């Protein structure tokens, strides 16, 4: 490479960051939808929805950034994943549409309010499942030839991706319940304390299945983890430590810690996944460098990002600050 420095790794970091931001932030609000049918009563559902109403569309913007950012920095990912996951992407989008409009419509409906409850719950579940299946499909890899996807429409749908799909549903529900612990009080908060350990156990179960299963479907992953002890073993250990922190914090009825520790659990699991697959971005054939766009395009966008992103993070933080504290009634 004749460029002064390698932007590909920097871009891997930026996209990785955007995806993580999306998972954490839309995770807790998709989680509200997943938990919706099980909420104690209708009043609780109002509060659950209100707790995320001011921020959900900002959260989903990270998904759009992930999509557009991939097209900019790693176009091969965009042009292989989306055709390969064609049906799954449609289901995810349909889910996001229904849950997105439910925010506006539910509060304006009377007799049809229960329909929007179901749209919110069903849409959130389907979107979360589809995203989890994408993670599974990434681990499985894609059938490509000459930089083009050549597999079938439903190749991605396997028992493994169903498990990862359900795993992410449980994970988002966990983010959602710990968010509720932080943002609510009284009966709803007590309910969230009660279900959090159950959700955590479900997440850990999937975590275990995936960890055991992945090395057997992918020789590269097996070698990475079992050819001697390396620093990456710290990642699953830290993830499990975070899970322990969630348990302990719930037991002690702490309010902020469960959410923070759940974010840690997500972060270290995600880093562990990336460590398994590095440097393959479109497995099994293409690495980060194969998938990257032109140097001048990466540079052009990077310069803008360095300038704009601090502002973006600043005013997002500010908008969260405005809506800080416990959610009582509605600001709708």
Partner 1 sequence: MELDPLILSRIQFAFVVCFHAIFPVFTIGLASFIAVLEALSFKTGNPIWQRLSKFWIQVFAVVFGMGVVSGIVMSFQFGTNWSNFSYATANFLGPVLSYEVVTAFFLEAAFLGVLLFGRDKVPQGVHLFAAIMVALGTFISSFWILAANSLMHTPDGLVLRDGLYYVASWRDSIFNPSFGYRFMHMALASFLTASFVVAGVTAWFIMQKRELEANKKALSISLWLILILAPAQVLVGDFHGLNTLKHQPMKVAAMEGNWETGTGVPLLLFALPDQENQQNLFEIKIPKLASFILTHDWDGEVPGLNEVAPDKQPPVFIVFWAFRVMVAMGMLMVLFGLAGLWLRRGGRYLENRTFLNGLRVMSLSPFIAVLSGWIVTETGRAPWLIYEQMTHAQGLTPSLTGGMALFTLIGYIAVYAMVFSAGVFYLMTVFRGGLETANAEHVDSDVEKAQRPISAANANLEGGL
**Interface of this chain with partner 1, residues 12 to 51, rule: CB under 8 A:** 43, 46-47, 50
Helix/strand/coil percentages in the chain, nearest 5: 80, 5, 20
DSSP, collapsed to helix, strand or coil, labels residue 165 as: helix
**CB of 316: closest distance to partner 1 in angstroms?**
5
Residue 307 CB neighbours (<10 A): 9
Q: Residue 38 gets which letter from DSSP? A: G
- Residues in region 65-84 near partner 1 by CB under 8 A: 65, 67-73, 75-76, 78-84
211 binds partner 1 (CB under 8 A): no
Between strands 280-282 and 286-287, the pairing is antiparallel
CA atoms of 200 and 205, how far apart (whole Å):
9
DSSP 181-201: HHH--HHHHHHHHHHHHHHHH
Residue 63 within binding range of partner 1, rule CB under 8 A: yes
Length of the chain: 332
What residues numbered 112-131 form the site for partner 1, per CB under 8 A? 113
Stated as kind and residue range, the H or E segment containing 61 is helix 56-73
Considering the rule CB under 8 A, would residue 241 count as an interface residue with partner 1? Answer: no
Quick check: 54 binds partner 1 (CB under 8 A)? yes
Instruction: Considering the complex, state which of residue 223 and residue 319 has its C-beta at the smaller distance from partner 1.
Output: 319
Residues 148-207 that bind partner 1 (CB under 8 A): 148-153
Chain residues 258-317 in contact with partner 1, contact rule CB under 8 A: 293-294, 296-297, 300-301, 304-305, 308-309, 312, 315-316
Our CB check for partner 1 shows the closer of 54 and 220 to be 54
The single residue among 10, 89, 240, 260 that binds partner 1, judged by CB under 8 A, is: 89
């Amino acid at each position: 490479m004749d460029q002064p420095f390698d932007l590909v790794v920097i871009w891997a970091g930026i996209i990785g960051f955007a995806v993580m931001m999306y998972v954490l932030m839309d995770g807790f609000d998709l989680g509200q939808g997943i938990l919706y049918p099980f909420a104690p009563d209708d009043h609780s559902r109002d509060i659950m929805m209100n707790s995320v109403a001011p921020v959900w569309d900002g959260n989903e913007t990270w998904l759009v950034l992930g999509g557009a950012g991939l097209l900019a920095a790693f176009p091969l990912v965009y042009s292989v994943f989306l055709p390969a996951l064609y049906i799954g992407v449609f289901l995810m989008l349909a889910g996001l549409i229904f849950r997105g409009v439910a925010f506006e419509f539910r509060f304006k409906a009377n007799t049809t309010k229960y329909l929007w409850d179901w749209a919110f719950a069903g849409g959130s579940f389907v979107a979360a499942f589809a995203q989890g299946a994408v993670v599974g499909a990434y681990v499985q890899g894609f059938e490509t030839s000459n930089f083009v996807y050549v597999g079938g429409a439903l190749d991605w749908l396997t028992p493994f991706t169903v498990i990862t799909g359900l795993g992410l549903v449980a994970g988002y529900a966990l983010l959602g319940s710990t968010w509720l612990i932080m943002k609510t009080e009284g009966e709803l908060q007590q309910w969230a304390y009660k279900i959090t350990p159950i959700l955590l156990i479900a997440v850990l179960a999937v975590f275990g299945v995936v960890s055991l299963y992945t090395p057997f479907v992918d020789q590269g992953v097996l070698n990475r983890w079992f050819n001697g002890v390396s620093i990456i073993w710290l990642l699953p250990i830290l993830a499990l430590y975070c899970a322990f922190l969630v348990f302990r914090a719930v037991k002690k009825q702490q309010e902020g810690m469960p959410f923070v520790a759940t974010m840690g659990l997500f972060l270290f699991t995600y880093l562990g996944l990336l460590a398994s697959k590095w440097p393959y971005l479109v497995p099994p054939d293409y690495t980060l460098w194969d998938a990257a766009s032109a140097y001048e395009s990466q540079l052009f966008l990077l310069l803008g990002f360095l300038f704009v992103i601090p502002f973006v993070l600043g005013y997002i933080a500010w908008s969260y600050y405005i809506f800080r504290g416990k959610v009582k009634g509605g600001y709708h």
